[in-house]
A and B are shown apart, each in its own frame.
Chain A
Amino acid sequence: LAKTTQPISMDSYEGQEVNITCSHNNIATNDYITWYQQFPSQGPRFIIQGYKTKVTNEVASLFIPADRKSSTLSLPRVSLSDTAVYYCLVGDMRNAGNMLTFGGGTRLMVKP
């Protein structure tokens, strides 16, 4: 499975746009990029997934450059409730085992 590297922590203020970048230099052809959010004492929650270019849903956007060696999760106009740990995962989840390998994640702190 491709190894991912994310910043350990980030600070932001309410109303700002937050961009969290994940590096995955050895991503394989069949790998997808998935982001999860986790609040303290809760299980992770799926945010968004993509393969290339740009994906947008109601909560976030995911930007993936042509070489796919990195990806950026964009959270528009964050609020205090967006304070959480964000995990970037890379892999072909369709394979037997459907294994998710979580790294250390990025701890986002949103301040008032």
Chain B
Amino acid sequence: ETGVTQSPTHLIKTRGQQVTLRCSSQSGHNTVSWYQQALGQGPQFIFQYYREEENGRGNFPPRFSGLQFPNYSSELNVNALELDDSALYLCASSPAGSYEQYFGPGTRLTVT
């Protein structure tokens, strides 16, 4: 069974640019959530996708957007990058209605 994978591992972008992060969910999981984790803090919920529809959103501006594909993989897009967007971005998958989420290793984004 393949776990949650994310790409790329690391990324460096310039302020104002756009970035796309990718996540492949664990086999059999149809729900994907994205989190932002700043250094030294706990993960902050961005949004969740269930069956290709956004199913909940945290306190993040509209320039954070996402997609889920029929195979349940997902993308996180961030437009107009700001320095404060520098963080570890985590993807987590779960079966629908499950309490347990399985996290990927994350993508480290640095905005300069």
Tell me if B94 is interfacial: C-beta within 8 Å of chain A.
yes
CB A106 to nearest CB in B, in angstroms, measures 11
Chain A residues, CB < 8 A from B42: 85, 87, 102-105
If A49-B100, A93-B99, A104-B41 touch, whether A98 touches B94 (CB-CB below 8 Å) is yes
**New A-B contacts (15) at CB < 8 Å, excluding given A41-B108, A43-B105, A102-B43:** A34-B99, A41-B105, A43-B4, A44-B92, A49-B100, A85-B42, A93-B99, A97-B48, A98-B48, A99-B45, A99-B56, A101-B45, A102-B35, A104-B41, A104-B42
Q: Whole-angstrom distance between the alpha carbons of A8 and B91 in the complex?
A: 25
Q: Whole-angstrom distance between the alpha carbons of A42 and B105 in the complex?
A: 5
Q: How many residues on A have C-beta within 8 angstroms of the other chain's C-beta atoms?
A: 23
Tell me if B72 is interfacial: C-beta within 8 Å of chain A.
no
If A97-B56, A99-B56 touch, whether A32 touches B99 (CB-CB below 8 Å) is yes
Contact A96 B56 (CB under 8 A): yes
Tell me if A111 is interfacial: C-beta within 8 Å of chain B.
no
CB B64 to nearest CB in A, in angstroms, measures 15
A-B residue pair count with CB separations less than 8 angstroms: 72
Nearest 6 interchain pairs by C-beta: A97-B56, A43-B103, A102-B42, A93-B99, A46-B100, A102-B43
Chain B residues, CB < 8 A from A94: 97, 99
Q: What does DSSP make chain B's interface, helix, strand, loop or mixed?
A: strand
Chain B residues, CB < 8 A from A93: 97-99
If A98-B56, A99-B48 touch, whether A41 touches B88 (CB-CB below 8 Å) is yes
Within 8 A of B (CB), among A69-86: 85
Q: Whole-angstrom distance between the alpha carbons of A87 and B58 in the complex?
A: 18
Q: Whole-angstrom distance between the alpha carbons of A98 and B106 in the complex?
A: 19
Tell me if B76 is interfacial: C-beta within 8 Å of chain A.
no
Contact A99 B58 (CB under 8 A): yes
